[in-house]
Amino acid sequence: MAEEQFIDFVKIFVRSGNGGSGSAHLARTSRNPKAGPDGGDGGKGGSVILRGNRNLWTLLHLRYTKHIFAEHGGNGQKNQCFGKDGENAYIDVPLGSIVRIEETGEYIGEVVEDGQQLVVMKGGRGGLGNVHFKSATHQTPRFAQPGEEGTEGWISIELKVLADVGLVGFPNAGKSTLISQLSNARPKIADYPFTTLKPNLGMVEYRDFKSFVIADIPGIIEGASEGKGLGLRFLRHIERNAALLYMIPVIDDDGNMKSPATVKKEFAILRNELENYNPELLDKNFLVAITKCDLVEQSDVLKLVAKLKKDLPIIAISAVTNSNLTELKDALWELLQ
């Protein structure tokens, strides 16, 4: 999938169907020319419904869909025949989709399970036929109830990736390499910033046939919460993750090993961006991974970890050499429990 094909926000104009009108028919037969009212009810209008589909990972299929209309209900007929109900209009969306009324921002709901259905615009009720209005004092009502009109308007659908663990770090922190080693995901990997331009999901197999889902979120830069870099486009996906793995390379851009103070500073910047976007993100359980440890002496790594673990839950890893990846999975599993 090309990077530009990851679509996580769309706006669509939707309209539910009108209810059919009830019939005001009066029965007439050769034996009884004044048999009375026999008008049937109108059918209900179709609704616009969001439906969860676990096989979808993006809103790409809705990118060029601007209008979705449900079917109108049929009118009632004589002999108390009901009008046909209008067909619903279904919009299949990936799990983690949130829908709002575009004009007001009003929250309608979210789809988080496969097959879950969420009514966005309810169809109009069908009108009652004149048979319902017959009474002892009014034997031949010549009127029926009109159908209820449907509703229409613009809605926005926003995708927030569902995953157990979200990888958080600056560009080129080694997130894509790690997810490719831990899971079946195969993200684009290169040694330059912003290789990842869309979230990647991977299933991590754990002991005793257990598993969890990990998400590679595109790199955060300082000021991301203000819209810089990829900014707000991807910060929203972190909200869905049950736990966070902060990833900080052991070396700087010049290849020099970082000091404990530098690691803490970078961790603080990442936390600050999350807090500025949504303070509740700081309540998530987390672990800090020092990455690319194959590029420095292991004795120096041990000294760095010893100084940092007094203040942070930390683990040193190398996705290239698979160093400590089993321990990392153990720590993440414990975090999720």
**Residue 224: strand, helix, or coil:** helix
CA 264, CA 314: separation in Å to the nearest integer?
A: 11
**In the predicted model, what is the mean pLDDT of residues 209-236?**
65
Does 303 score more than 60 pLDDT? yes
CATH of the domain at 104: 2.70.210.12
Q: Domain range for residue 77?
A: 3-159
Per-residue pLDDT at 124: 97
Confirm if 70 and 45 have CB atoms less than 8 A apart: yes
Q: Can you spell out the DSSP letters for 59-93?
A: SGGGTT--EEEPPPPPPPBTTTBPPPPPPPEEEEE
Task: Report CA-CA distances (Å) from 286 to 207, 248, 315, 328, 336.
Answer: 21, 13, 12, 12, 9
The count of structural domains within the chain is 2
**In the predicted model, what is the mean pLDDT of residues 225-245?**
68
Per-residue pLDDT at 234: 65
**In the predicted model, what is the mean pLDDT of residues 254-272?**
93
Looking at 136, 159, 182, the residue that finishes a domain is 159
**Is residue 231 very low, low, confident or very high in pLDDT (cuts 50, 70, 90)?**
very low
Residues 193 and 254 grouped into a single domain: yes
Per-residue pLDDT at 330: 92
**Exposure string (b/e) for 28-54, b if CB count within 10 Å is 16 or more?**
eeeeeeeeebbbbbbbbbbbbbbbbbe
- Residues of the chain with pLDDT > 90, as a percent, come to 55
Confirm if 155 and 96 have CB atoms less than 8 A apart: no
Looking at 131, 159, 187, the residue that finishes a domain is 159
Residues 231 and 99 grouped into a single domain: no
Per-residue pLDDT at 3: 44
Does 63 score more than 70 pLDDT? yes
**Chain segment 19-48, per-residue pLDDT in tens:** 999 999 998 876 777 778 999 999 999 999
**Chain segment 104-156, per-residue pLDDT in tens:** 999 999 999 999 999 999 999 999 999 999 988 888 898 999 999 999 999 99
Mean pLDDT of the chain: 86
**In the predicted model, what is the mean pLDDT of residues 53-75?**
91
Looking at 126, 142, 159, the residue that finishes a domain is 159
Residues 236 and 205 grouped into a single domain: yes
